[in-house]
Structure 1
Amino acid sequence: MQFGIFTVGDVTPDPTTGRTPTEHERIKAMVAIALKAEEVGLDVFATGEHHNPPFVPSSPTTMLGWIAARTERLILSTSTTLITTNDPVKIAEDFAMLQHLADGRVDVMLGRGNTGPVYPWFGQDIRQGIPLAIENYALLHQLWREDVVDFEGRFRTPLQGFTATPRPLDGVPPFVWHGSIRSPEIAEQAAYYGDGFFANNIFWPKEHFQQLIKLYRERYAHYGHGTPEQAMVGLGGQLFVRKNSQDAVREFRPYFDNAPVYGHGPSLEEFTEQTPLTVGSPQEAIDKTLTFRESFGDYQRQLFLMDHAGLPLKTVLEQLDILGEEILPVLRREFAAGRPADVPDGPTHAARVAADRRQRAASTP
């Protein structure tokens, strides 16, 4: 089981002071948060991709490359790479380069994003979102696995005899998660390729995501990749913790009430009841996170959103200390307890290289 954090990189005023960080400050804060994640023992740091204010992470591989040079163990991922508006050739080459620089500590999470205007900015039509996601990933999958590619589709010029460079490290591409909050077509796509499915369940009740994950698991088995229980599932989550619940609620409420995504909507109490958001004590965070396995089965990766809505860097780093010292050890122990032996661990480059070599050896006469 892998634990980590993901950021959306929003530049949001602190509602308690009225101060808005500069883009430079926010970018530097995201790097500091990633370094802290490794320090406190987390496994994964993931960043979103956005091309519009109030967000800053328009070039995830640039940021992750810088973080790779300053970390040793942390898996570096995106929490969305826009498969619909990025050229698959550029994705293939950028992430292969990052994979080499990070010695394999690289994943990619593909998604369509949640900002409609981005499509025409990159010459695409949002009404073609699903077909773009399907076609572009078919090409990306091929580019990483075939040295010479011929391709013709609806949405880009044909390729003839094309080789993406550099080639994936050790001949094994980055592990791919297909992220979705609403689309069964994306769950089907993840299952078809035997990739991971990340259900970013932070905004909607669990019943919706139970249906998506059930579909993904069933179709994963249908395509012959393993049992439904062996499918690779990732989940989102949100935490704000203090020693006691009253302090956590009092401190976080103004940030929640003014958050750019869900501010001025449901109350904090309604939101914590219906979604994975925990605002309370470390024990309450542990108890709620452990219920995810009851709802979705054993899974491989849990990412928490902890640095949004204008929270100052000092507060986020304090939150990460609490997560690493008081919450993470218990979650690791409890999730490991009773985990069936045939449920796979979260993906790592070393494990995938070893599996690839075993498969090649078994197929050699």
Structure 2
Amino acid sequence: MQFGVFSVGDVTEDPTTGTTLSEGERIKSMVAIALKAEEVGLDVFAQGEHHNPPFVPSSPTTQLGFIAAQTSKIILSTSTTLITTNDPVKIAEDYAMLQHLADGRVDLMMGRGNTGPVYPWFGQDIRNGIALAIENYALLRRLWREDVVDWEGKFRTPLQGFTSTPRPLDDVPPFVWHGSIRSPEIAEQAAYYGDGFFHNNIFWPISHTKQMIELYRRRFEHYGHGAADQAIVGLGGQVFMRKNSQDAINEFRPYFDNAPVYGHGPSLEDFSRETPLTVGSPQQVIERTLSFREHFGDYQRQLFLMDHAGLPLKTVLEQLDILGEEVVPVLRKEFAALKPAHVPNAPTHASLKAAAERARDLETIEEPVQ
């Protein structure tokens, strides 16, 4: 089981002080969070991709490359790579380059994003969103797996004898998660390829998330990648903790009540009841996170959102200390004890490389003697 944090990189006023970080301060705070995540023993740091205010992470590979140079263990990922509006050739090259710089500590999550205007900004039509995701990802896979590609599709110019450089590290492409909140077509796409499916359920009720994950698991098995409970699933979550649960609620409430992301709609209590948001003690976070398994089955990656809504960096780093010292060690032990032996771990570069080597050895053994 992998545990980590993801950041959407929002620049939001701290409602308790009236302070708003500059873009540069927010970018550097994300770096500090990634370094702290490794320090406290987390497995993954992921960041989103946005091209509109109030968000700053428009170039994930630039920032993740900078973080890679200062870390040695943590997996660096995206919580969204916009497969619809980015050129798959550029994605292939950028993330293979990042693979090499990070010694394989890279994976990425494909997504369509949730900002409609980004499509025309990059010369695309939002009405083609699903078709773009399907076509662009099919090309991306070929670019990573074939040395020379001839290709023609609907949404970009043809390729003739094209080689994407650099080639993936050890000839092993980064592992891909497909992130979707509400599109069954994306769950289907993840299942078709045997890739991971990440449901970032931070604003959604259990019933909806369960439907999406069950669809992905059924189709994963249908396409012959393994049993349904062997499908690779990731979940989002939001937490805010203090030793005393009421202290956590009192401290987080002004951020919840004022942050645009929460829509100024349901109360903190109602929102916490209907979504994974957990504001309370470390033990409450442990119990709530363990309950996800009861609804969604065994899964491989849990990412928490912890640095949004104007929370100051000092507070976020304190939250990471609590997560790494008091919460994740317990969750690792409990999830490991519950997981059946046939359920796989989340793929890493090392495990994918070993699998590729085994496959090549098997091909060599099975080749007929001339």
For the aligned pair, the TM-score class normalised by the smaller chain equals over 0.9
Q: Which AA in structure 2 matches 1:227?
A: A
Measured in 1, the distance between the counterparts of 2:44 and 2:163 equals 30
**Residues 116-155 of structure 1 deviation map (CA, whole Å, 9 limit, x = unaligned):** 0100000000011000000000000110000000111110
Q: Which AA in structure 2 matches 1:123?
A: G
- Which residue does the alignment assign to 2:221? 221
Q: CA deviation at 1:178?
A: 0.2
Q: CA deviation at 1:19?
A: 1.0
Measured in 2, the distance between the counterparts of 1:203 and 1:221 equals 28
In structure 2, runs of 5+ residues without a counterpart are: none
Moved over 3 A (4+): none
- Which residue does the alignment assign to 1:132? 132
Q: Which AA in structure 2 matches 1:15?
A: P
Q: CA deviation at 1:363?
A: 1.8
- Which residue does the alignment assign to 1:63? 63
**Residues 7-53 of structure 1 deviation map (CA, whole Å, 9 limit, x = unaligned):** 00000000001111000100000000000000000000000000000
Q: Where do 1:53-132 residues align within 5 Å?
A: 53-132=53-132
**Residues 53-82 of structure 1 deviation map (CA, whole Å, 9 limit, x = unaligned):** 000000000000000000000000000000
- Which residue does the alignment assign to 1:265? 265
Q: CA deviation at 1:263?
A: 3.6
- Which residue does the alignment assign to 2:242? 242
Measured in 2, the distance between the counterparts of 1:132 and 1:95 equals 19
In structure 1, runs of 5+ residues without a counterpart are: none
Higher mean C-alpha deviation, range 262-271 or range 164-173: 262-271
- Which residue does the alignment assign to 1:335? 335
Measured in 1, the distance between the counterparts of 2:286 and 2:245 equals 13
Q: CA deviation at 1:271?
A: 0.6
Measured in 2, the distance between the counterparts of 1:141 and 1:215 equals 23
- Which residue does the alignment assign to 1:279? 279
Q: CA deviation at 1:347?
A: 1.4
SS at match of 1:155: coil
Measured in 2, the distance between the counterparts of 1:102 and 1:335 equals 28
SS at match of 1:92: helix
TM-score normalised by L of structure 1 = 0.99
Q: CA deviation at 1:359?
A: 1.1
- Which residue does the alignment assign to 2:316? 316
Q: CA deviation at 1:338?
A: 2.3
Give yes or no for the alignment of 1:178 onto 2:178: yes
SS at match of 1:3: strand
Q: Which AA in structure 2 matches 1:264?
A: H
Q: Which AA in structure 2 matches 1:130?
A: I
Q: Which AA in structure 2 matches 1:58?
A: S
Contact 1:256 1:263 in 2 (8 A): no
- Which residue does the alignment assign to 1:44? 44
Q: Which AA in structure 2 matches 1:322?
A: I
Measured in 2, the distance between the counterparts of 1:38 and 1:187 equals 30
Contact 1:179 1:198 in 2 (8 A): yes
SS at match of 2:86: coil
Measured in 2, the distance between the counterparts of 1:263 and 1:281 equals 25
- Which residue does the alignment assign to 2:362? 362
Measured in 2, the distance between the counterparts of 1:354 and 1:170 equals 10
**Residues 276-302 of structure 1 deviation map (CA, whole Å, 9 limit, x = unaligned):** 000000000000000000010000000
Amino-acid identity (%): 80
- Which residue does the alignment assign to 2:192? 192
Q: What is the aligned-residue RMSD (CA, Å)?
A: 0.6
Q: Which AA in structure 1 matches 2:17?
A: T
- Which residue does the alignment assign to 1:35? 35
SS at match of 1:261: helix
Measured in 2, the distance between the counterparts of 1:151 and 1:212 equals 32
Measured in 2, the distance between the counterparts of 1:48 and 1:280 equals 26
Measured in 2, the distance between the counterparts of 1:360 and 1:192 equals 23
